[in-house]
Structure 1
Amino acid sequence: MTFSPTAESLLYPYGIDQGDTKNPKSDDGTSPEISISVPFTFYGKGYRSLYVNNNGVVSFGVNVSQYTPDPFPLDGGCPFVAPYWGDVDNRWGGDIFWRQTQDPAVLSRCSADINEYFPGIPFTAIWAFIATWDRVAYFGTASKKVNTFQAVLITNGDIAFIELNYADIQWTTGRASGGDAKTGLGGTPAQAGFDSGDKINYYNIPSSRTPDVLNIGGTTNVGKPGRWVFQVDEFVAPVTTESIDCLL
């Protein structure tokens, strides 16, 4: 399929027609190691490869098959970005797409976003990586509930950002994580945020691993419900808590 965003949509375009690669249909699966053309700096370390893991994680250095999320910081030291870490099983529905891009139109949109949210940092993107979980089901599903969300990594070769975008979140938990097969709720709900692996630089999006993560599409740290943005080459605290949840 191809996704063309409307004016209201926060997701960047994705799909085969956009030149994306698609992960295999697999429980707890992952992409192969993906070499990236521009190093991505994540808290002082430059990475030249990454993995897109079916369970809602983009990781550096090692793939991630764990399906029940732990809170950040993790003990294992694996650096990763988690738009929605939960027990995805796309054998029962949905696809995971990814691509790296230097397309001028995409980079122009990336630059505009970052300059809007971080006006004190003149920024021109030279590379982006877009990973999208499109209408993915959960392990043990006995329903038609699916989730759509996205992680976008953006850099100018020095300064680096991540965007986490949420289009439609209908479930929080797979059955193996204690969730109800008919509702996709209960048990240990999904985790969202990022972890640099150093036990110092990490962030748990509020409501992670609670039932309220179902409503993550209504939360933000940049004034746009459904989007969280972080500078990740060095730690920059999110915007004040007044903008965390636009539903309050």
Structure 2
Amino acid sequence: MICIEISIISLFYKLIYVFTDPCYNYTALDDPWRSPDNRYPPQYMCDYYVSWNGWYRLFLHGQSVQMPDTCVDENSCGTDAPLWLNGAHPTVEDGVVSRDVCISWRNNCCHAHSNPINVKACPGGYYVYEFVMPIGCYFTYCAGRGIFYSFGWAVRDTNNPADGNSSVIQLSSPFLFFGRTYQQIYVNNNGLLTFNQSSSAYIPYSFPANRNQDIIAGLWTDLDNRVKGVVSYNQYTSGNVLTNATRDINTYFPKLNFNASWVFVATWNKVAYFNLTSTDTSFQVVLISDRNSSFILMNYGDIAVTEHPVQAGYDTINSTHYIVIPGSNRGSFISNFRNSSNVDVPGRWAFMVAGEPDNVIGIQVRLSSFSDLTQSSNIEMVLQQMKQELVKYGLPNSVELKLRKRQKIKP
């Protein structure tokens, strides 16, 4: 009886802890316009008129992000004088800390100080913030850059018609794709990019298909933006987007000394599946080029499960090159896209599709135990992961990897 009473008391205190700890008792704040990439918006936002109450966790397009703790540019984050955290983020062991908040304005990263806020690091690798009313307008709290590139009305995207594809889009810079050069592209509502003609196909075929067209599929399935969601696109030849693209590609493909000269961003934001208006699916395909080398980024936010056929990756004419993002042919699995990656950035996949790849001398695979390679299913999984890494650097998908077993006997 005593043990039972102790257990009940222990559970009681644990429940109190969960209900009072801000790491488990917060409001999700997911405003895409809070991104530092949202520069010179047509409408300036102000957090002075928000009824702040309690703790908040920041998201961008469903991806957890943190408040910037380095200088952000004025005229960003959806306003003219953005707010950023003046001081490093705490550790979990620090508990709740108070941090100064800077106002970026008049070419001064900390032109003035707003009211300080409390911050806490949480065990899941995220932070929560006790936001308070700033000292005036037009000030907004920034949400650190997530994996999505800027899109929407804030950057003057062009929207696709409801349940229709874009007209032909003339590219301001040629895009190289596995030996072919394209001057135009189509953004199709059902989650794919095509080059020679638009596509209304809502049932994807499996890659490799050995067909006569090049396809880039962010998430090819039966999508419907008539009642929910927006499909939009934009292209850039200057500005902050190119700076971000240059940084990303040089991070994922070191030794290239890459400098982006053109970026094309196509976004499917909170689009529903056909006949399932309660679903939300958000993803993005980004094409990046310096005229000699080309790359694709695929960014995934919230992806609803579906019974519709799905396919994500790319396929070329005669399937000389193709990639299938693992699990993308199973609609019950695709909600995991926001956590999967081939570049150690949850929700992002990166591929080099033209240019000279790095000299890949070897790759490292971490195994959890020696027994990992004793079963054929595990061998296949490891080889598939190795192949994905090599394909990222331009190796043709047609290459077959095999594992040769060797035994070393000590003398």
Q: Which TM-score band (shorter chain)?
A: 0.7 to 0.9
Aligned-residue offset at 1:4: 4.3
Where do residues 1-248 of structure 1 align in structure 2 (5 Å cutoff)?
Answer: 3-5=33-35, 6-7=143-144, 9-26=146-163, 29-141=164-276, 143-171=277-305, 185-188=306-309, 190-210=310-330, 211-233=332-354, 241=385
Gaps of 5+ in 1: 172-184
| Inter-partner Cα distance in structure 2 for 1:62 and 1:204 | 22
Decide whether the 8 Å contact of 1:9 with 1:167 is kept in 2.
Answer: no
Decide whether the 8 Å contact of 1:150 with 1:166 is kept in 2.
Answer: yes
Classify 1:44/1:94 alpha carbon distance in 2 versus 1 (closer, same or farther; 3 Å): same
Classify 1:109/1:93 alpha carbon distance in 2 versus 1 (closer, same or farther; 3 Å): same
The secondary structure found in structure 2 opposite 1:137 is strand
| Inter-partner Cα distance in structure 2 for 1:4 and 1:198 | 43
Greater fraction of residues in helix: 2
Classify 1:236/1:119 alpha carbon distance in 2 versus 1 (closer, same or farther; 3 Å): closer
Aligned-residue offset at 1:213: 2.0
Give the residue type in structure 2 aligned to 1:95. Answer: V
Decide whether the 8 Å contact of 2:338 with 2:348 is kept in 1.
Answer: yes
| Inter-partner Cα distance in structure 1 for 2:344 and 2:192 | 24
Aligned-residue offset at 1:77: 1.6
Give the residue type in structure 2 aligned to 1:138. Answer: Y
| Inter-partner Cα distance in structure 1 for 2:145 and 2:262 | 24
Decide whether the 8 Å contact of 1:4 with 1:14 is kept in 2.
Answer: no
Aligned residues: 227
TM-score (norm 2): 0.52
Classify 1:233/1:106 alpha carbon distance in 2 versus 1 (closer, same or farther; 3 Å): same
Cα offsets for 1:1-30 (capped at 9, x unmatched): 96443326200010122021000011xx21
Give the residue type in structure 1 aligned to 2:152. Answer: G
| Inter-partner Cα distance in structure 2 for 1:235 and 1:25 | 40
Decide whether the 8 Å contact of 1:78 with 1:197 is kept in 2.
Answer: yes
Gaps of 5+ in 2: 1-30, 36-142, 366-384, 389-411
| Inter-partner Cα distance in structure 2 for 1:126 and 1:107 | 7
Cα offsets for 1:71-92 (capped at 9, x unmatched): 1122432111111111111012
Give the residue type in structure 2 aligned to 1:198. Answer: N
| Inter-partner Cα distance in structure 1 for 2:204 and 2:357 | 24
Decide whether the 8 Å contact of 1:137 with 1:147 is kept in 2.
Answer: yes
Matched with 2:73 is: none
Classify 1:157/1:24 alpha carbon distance in 2 versus 1 (closer, same or farther; 3 Å): same
Give the residue type in structure 1 aligned to 2:341. Answer: T
Classify 1:43/1:234 alpha carbon distance in 2 versus 1 (closer, same or farther; 3 Å): farther
| Inter-partner Cα distance in structure 1 for 2:34 and 2:237 | 18
TM-score (norm 1): 0.85
The secondary structure found in structure 2 opposite 1:55 is coil
Percent identical among aligned pairs is: 36
Classify 1:140/1:39 alpha carbon distance in 2 versus 1 (closer, same or farther; 3 Å): same
| Inter-partner Cα distance in structure 1 for 2:33 and 2:180 | 33
| Inter-partner Cα distance in structure 1 for 2:285 and 2:347 | 12
Aligned-residue offset at 1:165: 0.2
Give the residue type in structure 2 aligned to 1:164. Answer: M
Decide whether the 8 Å contact of 1:84 with 1:191 is kept in 2.
Answer: yes
Tell which structure's C-alpha radius of gyration is larger.
2
Aligned-residue offset at 1:121: 0.9
Q: RCO greater where, 1 or 2, for CA within 8 Å and sep 6 or more?
A: 1
